Amino acid sequence: MTRQTSVPAVPMDAKIAQLDSLCARARIMPVITIAHEDHILPLADALAAGGLQVLEITLRSPHGLTAIRRLRELRPELCVGAGTVLDQASWEAAEAAGAQFIVTPGSTAALLESALHSPIPLLPGVSSASDIMLGYALGYRRFKLFPAEVSGGVAALKALGGPFGGVRFCPTGGISPDNLVRYMDQPNVMCVGGTWMFDSQWIKAGDWARIEQASREALQLLAP
């Protein structure tokens, strides 16, 4: 059901501050698609033990909403958001599950406008200057650059920094240990999203210690 109120539930400045805070805490945001329900807690625990405590749980699998609900209930110290939110129905399902932030792979006028009236901050996906302007007109200043490498990577971020001086990004898609530092060195990057810390084979094997170590090593790349 589309919200009808014309008054934003939370001022945009406050939502921007929320996104800045969670991205500063995250630095690297795991983008997680849960293949099996019994992976939810051990995977989150391994990532958190390695220092990654802000998690984007995608809605690409039927276990996504279950994971958000379970982590919000059993791991309240974590910050848990919903990713791959594509429409109003999935937004409302993620909100009901307890998502603390929402990430979309792209932007539509309907979702951008509707999100203004939710208390949950939105990190909308963009891949071009036109996408940014669609959100910028509504007050958005924080975006997910996706897919980052395909959309121009670091060179694109440098170019976008000119006309969009007050905008900051969470690049996701193609981020790896090889280019992580180059992305994080950009002044308009607040954090990055990635998956390399939890290889699917490690998850299948229940090698949670390896995931913890990979998470720790990822953050060590960003150590001053």
Annotated active-site residue 77? The verdict is no
Q: Which of 144, 158, 212, 217 is catalytic?
A: 144
**Rounded to whole angstroms, how far apart are CA atoms 172 and 134?**
20
* Spatial distance between the Cα atoms of 180 and 175, rounded to a whole number of angstroms: 6
Task: Choose the catalytic residue: 15, 56, 149, 212.
Answer: 56
27 sits in the region (left: phi over 0; alpha: psi -120 to 50; else beta) called left
Q: Is 144 a catalytic residue?
A: yes
Cα maximum dimension of the chain: 50
* Burial class (CB within 10 angstroms; exposed 0-12, middle 13-18, buried 19+) of 153: buried
Residues annotated as catalytic are 56, 144
